[in-house]
Structure 1
Amino acid sequence: MNARTPSVALERPADTDQGIGGCPRRKEDRRLLLGRGQYVGDIRMPDMLDVAFVRSPVAHAKLGRIDKPEGLASMVYTMDDLSGVHPILAASALPGFKRSVQHPLAKDKVRFVGELVAACVAPTRARAEDIAAQVSVDYADLPVLADMEAAIDSATRVHDEWSDNVFAETNTDRDVSAPGATATRTVRRRLRTSRQCMMPLEGRAVLCYWDHRLDQLVMYSAAQVPHINRTGLAECLGLDQGQIRVVSPDVGGGFGYKGLLLPEEICCAWLARHLGRPVRWLEDRREQLGANANCREHAYDIAVEVEPDGRLVGIECDAMVDSGAYSSYPFSACLEAAQIGSILPGPYVMDRFVCRTRSVATNKPPILPYRGVARTGVCFALELMLDAAAREIGIEPYELRARSLVPASAMPYTNITNKYFDSGDYLACMTKAVEALDWQVWRERQPKAPAGKRIGLGLAVFCEQGAHGTSVYHGWGIPMVPGYEQCAARFTPDGILEIRLGVHSHGQGMETSMAQVAHTVLGIDIDRVRVQHGDTANSPYSTGTWGSRCAVMAGGAVGTACQALATRMTALAAALLGVPAATLRLEGGRIGVPGSPGLALDEIAHTWYRAPQKIPLGIDPSGLEVVVGYKTAPDTGTFSYACHACAVEVDIATGRVILLDYAICEDGGVLLNPQIVEGQLIGGLAQGIGTALYEEMPFDGEGQPLASTLADYLMPGAGEMPPLKIIHMETPSPLTLFGQKGIGEGGAIAPPAAIVNAVNDALHALGAELTECPASPERVLRALAAARTGALA
């Protein structure tokens, strides 16, 4: 295991180190920083039309008459006009799963505020919006289900054909306890995480046109999963997948928000074919906030059982997730709840685990997979409970956790829900984070806090399963099973290496890190590597970018493809040099006998393409282009992990929480590029701080969103980021090509738990405790008031 120093003084390899572990300048940054990126909104086409949608102003109603403006009927389309278009069916093979039928434009009934009712087209967005404002729709109001707990017992149905309002229920019951267990203490709480929105800099965007020469629909979309979108479009439009090309150009952030098929995409695709003109939709921020970007609403009735010394004995939990009105394609309704039953035990050893989960349908927008899918809520629930137990016992929270973290000596370890932890040292990780924060120094400062202020300390430990394979997703009933990743790699005649991937980069620096993998295998300068992605016409099939899978799966595919090219290059070099291939070494982009100059890769490529007469007979004619697939074995995923520790100051008069200090120790296995990893952690931390302290999308009893502008929806800015220390541990995974693990979501998972734990530590002496996030000033003051009256907030 190799531990790096904190990021404030990180001893990184020099910029000239281009291979795995190096930190060269990102290849993509030059074009992005100079404004030369190309996003969907930058693309202009002749005769293009813009779309504005009529969206439902009510959460639940029967659809009546839709009147189109006089003289403008040809510019307004309802579901009845979309001939041949099938509904979105995001099904699951989970036992008992109820399928929701979502038409791209509402038919018969609307089920949430913002649901699409009609599409209006015009030469400009402004004109299309004017037309939309003139469309008249009759709505017959129905009772609204705005609370998931009430929806479970309600006679009202989100989907009339269902027997209740639950998409699916799961149950887990495991007991591996030994007889004669010691006396235990049980701590129980009801916890909630608030519904929130995702906020990529670029909203969703779609541009479609019909290519008559190729008889093909072309869709430019800000998408994370272009091949999956193509599959969904084919199903809904009745086309074969070869008739559809999906292109994801530069994408300004995804976070899961762009990892699904959109009703807007289906509408634009149909309109483009029907009208014979390019059709574009660019989401505005109000559409995003009010209708499209909900996530994270969990509720837990949870108890933990601990021994007197703090050892975790068991967990009992009844959890529910507000899944909104529909399951979004390819699958979203149960993705959060279905995972709770398998990942709630976290990185801990225990004897008993009982968990029931329900995915509840309500009259809210569909819940979507957001960075740290399910794990953020799970980490919040379990880590708050462990801190509560530590307070009751009277020990430090890290001391309690140390009793139950999976020890390094037990790795690889199969936990109580059969998760296979590939490698790691969780205790060392937590210890390093606590030390980096100077925990004891902050403890000494607590009594010296300014008048009216309280200082608190908190931490959270988690493990992140990434790069999941067939066994995991098939077990969850998901229809798109990510069994492998492919890379197409080839040398051009002048020795440029072209890499084509099915995954998509939308901020992860993949063009750089994948080039670093190629450099490690072939020794080629990363400036001579071109990474192409995001186009179903020339990239291998892929389930796309999500689930912290790219470093492992795409990195493994690139490495394996480059190894295959190295084998072919070595055979050619051996033939040209007249020596056995076994005597040659590939190093620094050259192949030769050790001690001799040999041949450069570009020389070999030139000979193959431009001077084949120099190549002896009998050489494999397959050439310098390969398509290679890669998967881990076993394919249960890698387990990165981290500990976040922080100090906060709480103003007990105003309820304001300020982050004073923050430390992260993480282990992502072998880091392809530590600087890129740090960027992922810092960005994730900012999102996690938003979840912990600011971001919330409340709904009233009629299902109306109450924060539909950025004046109402609060987000952290640069001023809310705390002083930060990052420590990298590198415990190689035995399952992956280079020992790397998925780490893209980790920065966003732990902050809500760590920060709210710190707030509770600050308020403990006052008898106050928060059980919900975000820890807004209002909630802090409510907790203090409840403490004064003897009630738990």
Structure 2
Amino acid sequence: MHSGIGARALRKEDARHLKGKAQFVGDIKIPDTWEAAFVRSPLAHARLVAIHKPAGAEAQVFTAADMPDLKPIRCESTLPSYKMSDYPALARDKVRYVGECIALCIAPTRAEAEDLAEAVRVDLDPLEPVVNVGTALKDGAPLLHEEWNDNLFLTTRHDGDLSEARARATVVIERNYETARQAMNPMEGKGVLAHWDHKAEQLIVYTSTQVPHLIRTGISECLGLDQGDVRVIAPDVGGGFGYKCVLQPEELSVSWVARKTDRPIRWTEDRREHLTAGANTRQHSYKITAYADDSGRLLGLDADIWVDIGAYSVWPFTACLEAAQAGGNLPGPYDLGAYACRTYSVATNKPAFTPYRGVARPGVCFAMELTMDAIARAVGKDPLEVRCLNLVPGAAMPYTNVTGKFYDSGDYPQAARAAAEMIHAETFRARQKAAAAEGRHIGIGFAAFTEQSAHGTKVFASWGLPLVPGYEQAMVKLTPSGTVEVRSGNHSFGQGLETTVAQVACEWLKTDLSQVKVTMGDTGLTPYSTGAYASRGMVMAGGAVSKAAEELARRLKIHGAHLLQCQPEDVEIRDGAVTDGLSSVAFPEIAAAWYLHPDRLPDDVNTAGLEVTEGYKPDIDTGVFTYATHAAIVEVDPRSGRTEILDYVIFEDCGRRVNPMILDGQSYGGAAQGIGTALFEEVIYDAAGQPLTSTLADYIMPGPAELPHIRLGHMETLSPHTRHGMKGVGEGAAIAPAGAIVNAINDALSGYGVELTQIPATPHRVLSAILNARQAQEARA
């Protein structure tokens, strides 16, 4: 049975998950483990005056004053005008958002630790909070960080020349767009269990993370330990989405207390902590001016983008990655000649901003795709026609766009036309007219995007980050019993990487997937990797495994040929054996010769053995670009404001599909998150900076009843710059739904003159838009 690249193999990890045998941070059993609970700030902005520990339990409560040697998270950047912020594991002189950690309490059980936390009294001197971008940027606004002269982490500029575009334009579109703040809500929240191993003389940290090697670096730096004194193990991880790719303050304080008390200490995040104190994301504001001609051809784009970053800069990606990505990716898949953009990373009294699936691109796709529809309406053309007019054509590939993004391969208009065909766009207007006769309002919308995946050293260095990825490493070996072992410092947390890297090994070693064991996420056992983020897992980890497996296959041919008494060039690997015509020697026999009976091998045998470690990155550092078009048909009830998705299609090109089944799952899951972005999910704060969406009864996520049957289409344009032509795909499907769905809503309500420009498109916002449009019409009359 084929187990290599292209096989729809069942996921290796599913058996233990479905049988309840997986091991998450909360499942790990270490004798004498105590549980932790945090005292968190009830105010968004205040001076920390005093902390009063309960009498008799002082040794179980830890504050910043107890940890003078614990350094704050300090994320540096080389970008001009960037301002650093010390992010303490426990608040020192001031609190800057509701939920910020003030003290850590430990006890034999979580309930006792929470009771202890309730007994801690904190004296706070309230300060005026800064709860939105507008307030933060006003002259005289309260400063989150007094050493700054304003509330800006960073401002960036792309100064393109728009003079010709302005002169030639016959259509000028001006719009303001808003995207909501979101929480990420992985099934498993954050969690960390730390203890000191006296035999290994190491701090052992089990943590729910996407980036174990990075977390080891961060913990060792903040605790003042050599990295060899810290071992980070990421066990099974119940989802990440970017939330778990940064150093968490809880990881630091729990690690410090575990070492101080010489006792295993565990903390696991509950859902209320996640919703109130966990990282927030995706809150953007846009001011867009687009210049086009009468055909709908986009001539130039001028943009200002504000990102509500929250209180602190996260390590290692900083507070500025989101805005930098927004400015660089706004042009998307379009052939745009003139572009100017300014971005502003703004500090507010909210939890720190963390990368989330798609990093900035859901916002920029929403803004760009609504702008494309606005241009189409202005010139009286079909939105799909205007898109195809402006999308980078296949004949132009490879193509370097106006912001320097290198689009290595593909045909963007073809994907748009394929999505339109799948959703039967050619007959939709007749269907829409028939629905209108029944009093129903249906609409169609499109959104196209590119996804930069596996971008590398020079790209990250240009963003000024304190840690830059280099070569991804992986180890592949033949074990003494003849099975295959793969070790990668990357990690699998739901995206199926444990299976797909095994399939890559099978591509070279031609063995059954059941004969491949994969070890990931343990700094003590795996080669170095900066981890899983930026859709890099398959390209980078898969590429490294491919190189190592290719070399192992070469060595197996040499040993197998010797045992078969023929030449290496005469043999091939097939079905877990080295074969020469009708003769073969199975992997267990080759392994036995190397490990147990070296007398069967020649005296001048290659001493490198059957264990191979290789490093890999693509031959371009700009990353490889996946792309797709999403199309949606919706029905909107103008009486309730409710939107129902009637049909939804995705047509994408992610290069070589290693496991089509897993790829489909990634697309379904990403689209579900994108539908949440479009219609439901919003973290809301009041004027005092208090979170109003602290439970899943308040923070609404889509469930089975709200999700449509999503139909998928694919084509494979292989990247010329990666092993096997692979491209990343982990973030893509979450990027486009908001643009496609809101365009469809606007189309459905075009008779009312409605144009929504804010997400989520909740019933309240839809009804408000209808009312505002009606009042505007009456005012004109």
Q: Which runs of 5+ in 1 are unaligned?
A: 1-15
* C-alpha contact (below 8 Å) 2:572/2:579 kept by paired residues: yes
Greater Cα shift, 596-605 or 174-183? 174-183
Structure 2 residue 132 is the aligned partner of structure 1 residue 147: yes
Partner of 1:31: 16
Shift of 1:291: 0.8
Could you tell me how far 1:757 is from its partner in structure 2?
Answer: 0.7
After superposition, where does 1:61-80 map in structure 2 within 5 Å? 61-80=46-65
Query: Is contact 1:174–1:417 with CA below 8 Å preserved after alignment?
Result: no
| Residue type at the aligned position of 2:605 | I
Residues 721-770 of structure 1 deviation map (CA, whole Å, 9 limit, x = unaligned): 11221001100000001001000001100001110111111112211111
Q: Which residue of 1 aligns with 2:622?
A: 636
Task: Please tell me whether residue 587 in structure 1 is matched to residue 574 in structure 2.
Answer: yes
Task: Give the CA deviation at 1:575.
Answer: 2.5
What secondary structure does 1:695 align onto?
Answer: coil
CA distance in structure 1 between the aligned counterparts of 2:220 and 2:300, rounded to whole angstroms = 47
CA RMSD, 1 decimal: 1.4
Aligned with 1:38: secondary structure?
Answer: coil
Corresponding residue for residue 9 of structure 1: none
* Cα deviation, residue 183, structure 1: 4.0
Counterpart for residue 771 of structure 2? 785
> What corresponds to 2:602 in structure 1?
616
CA–CA separation in structure 2 for the residues paired with 1:111 and 1:453? 48
- 1:535 is matched with 522
| Residue 419 (structure 2) aligns with | 433
How big is the shift at 1:418?
Answer: 1.1
Q: What pairs with 1:642-791 in structure 2 (closer than 5 Å)?
A: 642-790=628-776
- SS of equivalent residue, structure 1 residue 196: coil
Cα 1:61–1:177 change in 2 (3 A) is closer
2:536 to 536, 540, 549: 549
Q: Is the 8 A contact 1:177 1:351 kept in 2?
A: no
Partner of 2:174: 188
Matches within 5 A, 1:434-513: 434-449=420-435, 453-513=440-500
Distance in 2 separating the partners of 1:182 and 1:337: 30
Distance apart, 1:599 and its partner CA: 1.7
2:302 corresponds to which of 292, 316, 323:
316
SS of equivalent residue, structure 1 residue 459: strand
**Letter in structure 2 aligned against 1:17:** H
Is 1:259 the counterpart of 2:259 in the alignment? no
Alpha carbons of 1:77 and 1:452: their partners in 2 closer, same or farther (altered >3 Å)? farther
Match of 1:559 in 2: 546
SS across alignment from 1:171: strand
Task: Provide the rounded CA distance (Å) in 2 between the counterparts of 1:553 and 1:147.
Answer: 38
Deviations along 1:84-131, one digit per CA (max 9) or x if unpaired, are: 101110122211110000110000100000000011111111111111
Q: How far 1:177 sits from its partner (Å)?
A: 8.8
**Contact 1:62-1:110 at 8 Å conserved across structures:** yes
Deviation at 1:448, TM superposition (A): 2.6
Offset, 1:579: 2.3
The 2-side partners of 1:440 and 1:763 are apart by: 20
Map of 1:4 onto structure 2: none
Give the TM-score of the pair, scaled to structure 1: 0.96
- Within 2, Cα distance between the matches of 1:347 and 1:43? 46
**Structure-2 residue corresponding to 1:8:** none
Q: Report SS of the residue matched to 1:655.
A: coil
Counterpart of 2:748 in structure 1: which amino acid? A
Counterpart in 2 of 1:600? 586
8 Å Cα contact 2:318-2:465 kept in structure 1: no
Task: State how 1:241-256 maps to structure 2 within 5 Å.
Answer: 241-256=227-242
Residue 396, structure 1, aligned to residue 368, structure 2? no
Local SS of the residue matching 1:518: helix
Q: Is the 8 A contact 1:176 1:351 kept in 2?
A: no
Q: Does 1:46 align with 2:31?
A: yes
How far off is 1:626 after superposition? 1.2
The percent of aligned pairs where both chains have the same amino acid is: 52
Q: Any conservation in 2 of the 1:467–1:637 contact (CA below 8 Å)? A: yes
In the TM superposition, residue 22 of structure 1 has moved relative to its aligned partner by 0.9
- Structure 1 residue 100 and structure 2 residue 85: aligned? yes
- Residues 449, 455 of structure 1: 8 Å contact kept: yes
Are positions 1:414 and 2:386 aligned together? no
For residue 573 of structure 1, what is the aligned residue in structure 2? 560
Structure 2 gap ranges (5+): none
Per the alignment, in what secondary structure is the counterpart of residue 521 of structure 1? helix
Secondary structure in structure 1 of the residue aligned to 2:304:
strand
CA contact (8 A) 1:28 1:512 kept: yes
What is the aligned partner in structure 2 of residue 218 from structure 1? 204
Three-state SS of the structure 1 residue aligned to 2:160 is strand
- Cα offset for 1:571? 1.6
Q: 1:117 to 1:355 in 2, by over 3 A?
A: same
Partner Cα separation in structure 2 for residue 28 and residue 179 of structure 1: 53
Q: CA deviation at 1:572?
A: 1.4
Counterpart-to-counterpart distance in 1, 2:318 and 2:716: 33
Rounded to whole Å, the distance in 2 between the matches of 1:210 and 1:251 is 22
Q: Does the Cα contact within 8 Å between 1:158 and 1:363 map onto a contact in 2?
A: yes
Question: How high is the TM-score relative to the length of structure 2?
Answer: 0.98
Aligned residues: 776
Measure the CA separation in 1 of the matches of 2:97 and 2:439.
Answer: 44
1:382 to 368, 371, 374: 368
* Corresponding letter in the other structure for 2:225: L
Q: 1:457 offset after TM fit, Å?
A: 0.6
Tell me the distance in 2 between the aligned counterparts of 1:514 and 1:757: 38
Which residue pairs with 2:94 in the alignment? 109
> Relative to structure 2, which stretch is displaced further, 738-747 or 571-580?
571-580
Residue 48 of structure 1 and its aligned partner are, at CA, apart by: 1.0
Q: Distance in 2 between matches of 1:158 and 1:113?
A: 13
How far is 1:342 from its partner? 1.1
Q: Please state how far the C-alpha of 1:453 moved relative to its aligned partner.
A: 3.4
CA deviations 1:621-676 (Å, max 9, x no partner) are 11111110011111210100000001000000110000000010000001000110
Deviates more, 1:715-724 or 1:110-119: 715-724
Cα separation, 2, equivalents of 1:549 and 1:444: 43
| Residue type of the alignment partner of 2:727 | K
Structure 1 residue identity aligned to 2:554:
T
Q: Specify the alignment match of 1:7 in structure 2.
A: none
Report the alpha carbon displacement of residue 478 of structure 1 after superposing the two structures with TM.
Answer: 1.4
Give the conservation status (yes or no) of the 8 Å contact 2:4–2:507.
yes
Alignment of 1:126 onto 2:111: yes
